[in-house]
């Protein structure tokens, strides 16, 4: 059977979390206050989260094994959870226990971006959604604030202040796989 997803060749089955439902994707968007571009929504629905065949990670959506740890990591004595964060934490809980011990294999896009927003204290606009990093100092972000349906991917790090690296999410994955990101 031929591939039905344009990124199928870049994500081996053993390197993905499994697809996210449309309601889960919508809730993630509501929690972050953004609209994901169609290419990233398609990735989330098909793969959830994963590693590109060369080991580059792409953050996404999957069930976190320990909702209580997520809640305590997001809440603090000086900051209450927002209603959207609380609803997300409740809806993201698995109905059966997670069987694998240890931390998740992938980065959860909502958790990661809520943590980054708390750390950055408003210095990075919420329209930017971190979807990956280079393992060092560069973070790759979707710019969901553009008027076009697709969001460009930009890099943020020392010497790279929101520099365009790909016109859309699919091009970003292809460039990661080919090791041709222009940064």
pLDDT in tens, 44-63: 999 999 999 777 899 999 86
Would residue 2 count as lying in a domain? Answer: no
Query: How many structural domains are present in the chain?
Result: 1
Q: Calculate mean pLDDT across residues 143-149.
A: 94
Task: Give the three-state DSSP class for 105.
Answer: coil
CATH of the domain at 127: 3.40.1580.10
- DSSP E strands in the chain: the ranges are 50-51, 57-58, 128-133, 139-143, 153-157, 160-166
Would residue 101 count as lying in a domain? Answer: yes
Q: Which range marks the domain in which residue 48 is found?
A: 8-178
pTM of the predicted model over 0.85:
no
Higher pLDDT, 70 or 127: 127
Nearest to 48 by CA among 70, 77, 17: 17
> Across the strands, what pairs with 142?
129, 153
Q: Calculate mean pLDDT across residues 161-175.
A: 96
- Rounded CA-CA distance 152/114 in Å is 21
Residue 106's pLDDT is what?
82
**pLDDT of residue 4 exceeding 90:** no
Q: What mean pLDDT value characterizes the chain? A: 82
Would residue 1 count as lying in a domain? Answer: no
């Amino acid at each position: 059977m031929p591939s039905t997803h344009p990124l199928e060749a870049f994500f081996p089955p053993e390197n993905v979390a499994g697809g996210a439902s449309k309601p889960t994707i919508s809730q993630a968007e509501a929690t972050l206050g953004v609209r994901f571009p169609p290419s990233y929504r398609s990735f989330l629905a098909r793969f959830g989260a994963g590693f590109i065949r060369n080991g580059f990670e792409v953050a996404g959506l999957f069930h976190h094994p320990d909702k209580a740890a997520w809640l305590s990591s997001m809440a603090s004595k000086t900051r209450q959870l927002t209603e959207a964060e609380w609803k997300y934490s409740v809806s993201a809980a698995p109905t059966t226990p997670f069987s694998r011990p240890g931390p998740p294999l992938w980065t959860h896009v909502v958790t990661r971006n809520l943590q980054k927003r708390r750390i950055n204290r408003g210095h990075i606009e919420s329209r930017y959604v971190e979807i990956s990093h280079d393992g060092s100092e560069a973070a790759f972000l979707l710019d969901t604030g553009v008027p076009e349906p697709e969001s460009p991917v930009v890099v943020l790090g020392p010497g790279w202040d929101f520099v365009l690296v790909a016109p859309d999410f699919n091009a970003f994955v292809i460039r990661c796989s080919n090791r041709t990101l222009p940064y």
